Amino acid sequence: MKVTDIRIGMLRVPLKTPFKTALRTVDTVEDIVVMVHTDSGHVGYGEAAATAVITGDTHGSMIEAIRKCIRPRLIGADVADLNRNTRIVQTALERNFSAKAAVEIALYDLFGQLYGAPLYKLLGGGDPVITTDITISVDYIDKMVADSLSAVERGFESLKIKVGKDIGLDIERVKAIYAAVEGRALLRLDANQGWSAKQAVYAMQALEDAGVQLELLEQPVKAQDIRGLKYVTDRVHTPVMADESVFGPTEVIDLIKMHAADIINIKLMKTGGLSNAIRIADIASLYGVECMIGCMIETSISVAAAVHLAVAKSEVITKVDLDGPSLCRYDPVDGGVIFNESEISIVDAPGLGIREVRGLEMLEE
Ligand SMILES: C[C@H](N)C(=O)N[C@@H](CCC(=O)O)C(=O)O
Ligand SMILES: [Mg+2]
């Protein structure tokens, strides 16, 4: 099975409600979809989000990276040579991690199709059902409390509360949600870089003193502020998770050696796809550090790949934040992984199992 072409489409899916973090507000998924075509007629699917505020990727940069740098090097490649092909993707150009992720996901999908097995089985197997949290966007306190209660009623047992907008209000937001859900859900906080290190310690100590129990605090400080991240990790009881501060395996090694965070959030859009995500999971496992698997504003194409990875690496990926498809108004994918509120299950089909993507606007060269 040889690669004959890589085509790109644009997928737009409205969200149920606006997604609001300390970094941005977004109301529609607008992702590129990559289709890797082969001489056997098999097509591998990948997807990438243009999360410029986090990864630097834009639609234009991703399309250019794939067309100009990655595609010419992959045409004619044998799908069976997965390690060689992922190396080609990773070395085709610097950075551009989300563009690389889209192509890698499609190559892994094809690899599974080649051997007639669901991807997670080729990654080592596991229980093909996992449970995700759901994001509660940062907003007025009453709205966040109402959104949290509605999520609990929908069966979510873990809520990812977005904070990082205003330290005083953030403390009140979390106290109000904690009181409202009354132990019916675990609370994770994600400040998306919105606090300083000292503010983060102050907020967490205020919450800990008030008896608010939190599962973890994600990315309290600026991505580049690794010393600030360590300052927080050293001073609060709640485990601290690095998200925007870590993209690839070498950064993970540095972070773990410094003990700058307790947990690592792996996202395919940051790692450049599955090959580096697997490396990170293996490194973290060696050091006894837990990981979360996360996503950007993505549909069930790229999130499916993250689900297969989470299933295969469940001994180290102990936390799941793959709510992108649940935030979408509808699922544009026919086949693939099934996202049913908090429960995610893999169907027994080759690769990612995607048969068709509806509503795709193919991009002309
Ligand atoms: C969607 C997921 N729950 C999430 O919060 N992801 C990111 C932010 C993604 C974005 O801004 O597109 C995160 O910070 O963890
Ligand atoms: Mg985050």
ipTM entry: 0.99
267 and 145 together in one domain: yes
Structure tokens at 167: 């330290």
Residue with CA nearest ligand 1 atom 1:
296
347 and 236 together in one domain: yes
From 192, 245, 300, the mutation candidate for ligand 1 (largest count of ligand atoms within 8 A of CB) is: 192
76 and 41 together in one domain: yes
Which residues, in sequence order, are CB contacts of 92 under 8 Å at separation 6+? 65, 69, 70, 73, 100
pLDDT at position 112 is 98
pLDDT at position 303 is 99
pLDDT at position 142 is 98
What is the sign, positive or negative, of the torsion defined by CA atoms of 207, 211, 212, 217? positive
134 CA → ligand 1 middle, Å: 10
1 CA → ligand 2 middle, Å: 38
154 and 60 together in one domain: no
Which residue has tokens 């997604």?
Answer: 19
> Active-site residue among 121, 230, 267, 319?
267
- 192-230 in b/e form (b: 16+ CB < 10 A) is bbbbbbebbbbbbebbeeeebebbbbbbbbbbebbebbb
State the Cα–Cα distance between residues 209 and 217, nearest whole angstrom.
Answer: 16
343: three-class secondary structure by DSSP: strand
State the Cα–Cα distance between residues 185 and 205, nearest whole angstrom.
Answer: 21
233 and 291 together in one domain: yes
114: three-class secondary structure by DSSP: helix
* CATH number of the domain within which 179 lies: 3.20.20.120
189 and 313 together in one domain: yes
Number of domains observed in the structure of the chain = 2
Structural domain including 105 reads 3-116+358-362
From 187, 240, 245, 295, the mutation candidate for ligand 1 (largest count of ligand atoms within 8 A of CB) is: 295
- CA nearest neighbour of 243 among 226, 258, 259: 226
195 and 312 together in one domain: yes
Mind listing the pLDDT tens digit of every residue in the chain (365 residues)? 999 999 999 999 999 999 999 999 999 999 999 999 999 999 999 999 999 999 999 999 999 999 999 999 999 999 999 999 999 999 999 999 999 999 999 999 999 999 999 999 999 999 999 999 999 999 999 999 999 999 999 999 999 999 999 999 999 999 999 999 999 999 999 999 999 999 999 999 999 999 999 999 999 999 999 999 999 999 999 999 999 999 999 999 999 999 999 999 999 999 999 999 999 999 999 999 999 999 999 999 999 999 999 999 999 999 999 999 999 999 999 999 999 999 999 999 999 999 999 999 999 98
pTM of the complete model beyond 0.90: yes
> Active-site residue among 20, 162, 230, 319?
162
107 and 126 together in one domain: no
pLDDT at position 91 is 98
Residue 222 falls in the annotated catalytic set:
no
pLDDT at position 52 is 98
Which residue has tokens 């690899």?
Answer: 111
Strands 158-162 and 134-136: parallel
Question: How far is CA 361 from each of CA 34, 51, 111, 343, rounded to the nearest angstrom?
Answer: 11, 20, 25, 30
Ligand 1 neighbours (beta carbon < 6 A) = 21, 23-24, 51, 135, 160, 190, 192, 243, 294-297, 321, 323-324
Give the burial class of 182: count Cβ atoms within 10 A of its Cβ; 0-12 exposed, 13-18 middle, 19 or more buried: exposed
Q: Which segments within 143-210 are labelled E, that is strand?
A: 158-162, 186-190
Residue 267 falls in the annotated catalytic set:
yes
Residue with CA nearest ligand 1 atom 4:
296
pLDDT at position 93 is 98
